[in-house]
């Protein structure tokens, strides 16, 4: 009857790196046969993004053309805009370890869970329908969005995006009318 010298489960302790496993099989009559395989364990991670809606991105670019000395970068929003939320989690390929949830908490604004069809790219939004506050009432200043990914093996990873609110969406339209 064949026997295997390697019968225990290999654990990596959730530490990234290259691991090597050797397995030896023998039937007690022939010389043992060994097989060695190496595999990579990748770091689990999350990368978050907060962007403008398509319409508001056009408005931002239009504003920048009109006021080149007072440009607004991608992370400067007008109060009242909807926040488009995206996250990328580690693509673990055929591994059973997958991101199972991505939650976004925006201090002083609200929270939401993102959705995904492939457990790698996640998306959602915080708008007037699901915010804890009236988005038009946000004061000028910086706001922190924390994106937290939870993986099926219990690992939790976070990414923080800080954006700036500067002015109200109604001001943009008043400026636009004066162009």
Q: How many other C-beta atoms lie within 10 A of the C-beta of residue 131?
A: 20
CATH code linked to domain 46-178: 2.60.40.10
Instruction: Report DSSP letters for 112-125, one per residue.
Output: EE-B-SSSSEEEEE
Q: Would you say 109 and 126 are in contact if contact means Cβ atoms under 8 Å apart?
A: yes
What pLDDT is stored for residue 175 in this prediction?
65
Provide φ and ψ at 27, rounded to 5°.
Answer: -105, 5
Q: Break the chain into its structural domains and give their ranges.
A: 3-41, 46-178
Report the pLDDT value the prediction gives residue 10, as an integer from 0 to 100: 57
- Give the pTM: 0.80
For residue 64, what is the DSSP state?
A: H
Q: Is 161 helix (H, G, I), strand (E, B) or coil?
A: strand
| Residues in a beta bridge with 46 | 89
Instruction: Report whether 149 contacts 99 (CB < 8 A).
Output: yes
Task: Encode pLDDT of 131-178 as tens digits.
Answer: 999 999 999 999 999 999 999 999 999 999 999 999 999 988 776 655
pLDDT tens for 83-140 read 999 999 999 988 899 999 999 999 999 999 999 999 999 999 999 999 999 999 999 9
**Strands of 27-136, DSSP E:** 33-41, 46-51, 76-79, 83-89, 99-106, 110-113, 121-126
78, burial (CB in 10 Å: exposed 0-12, middle 13-18, buried 19+): buried
| pLDDT for residue 46 | 98
- Per-residue pLDDT of 29-73, as tens digits, reads 888 898 888 877 778 999 999 999 999 999 999 999 999 999 999
């Amino acid at each position: 009857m064949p026997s295997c010298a390697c019968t225990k489960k290999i654990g990596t302790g959730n530490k990234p790196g290259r691991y090597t496993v050797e397995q030896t099989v023998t039937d007690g009559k022939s010389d043992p046969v060994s097989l060695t395989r190496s595999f990579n364990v990748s770091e689990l991670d999350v990368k978050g993004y907060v962007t403008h809606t398509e319409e508001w991105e056009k408005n931002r670019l239009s504003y920048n053309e009109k006021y080149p000395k007072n440009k607004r970068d991608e992370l400067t929003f007008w109060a009242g805009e909807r926040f488009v939320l995206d996250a990328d989690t580690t693509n673990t390929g055929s591994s059973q370890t997958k991101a199972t949830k991505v939650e976004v908490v925006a201090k002083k604004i609200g929270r939401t869970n993102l959705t995904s069809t492939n457990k790698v790219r996640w998306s959602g939004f915080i708008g007037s329908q699901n915010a804890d506050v009236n988005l038009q009432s946000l004061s000028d200043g910086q706001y922190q969005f924390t994106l937290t990914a939870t993986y099926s093996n219990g690992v939790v990873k976070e990414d923080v995006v800080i954006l700036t609110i500067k002015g109200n969406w109604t001001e943009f339209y008043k400026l636009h009318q004066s162009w």
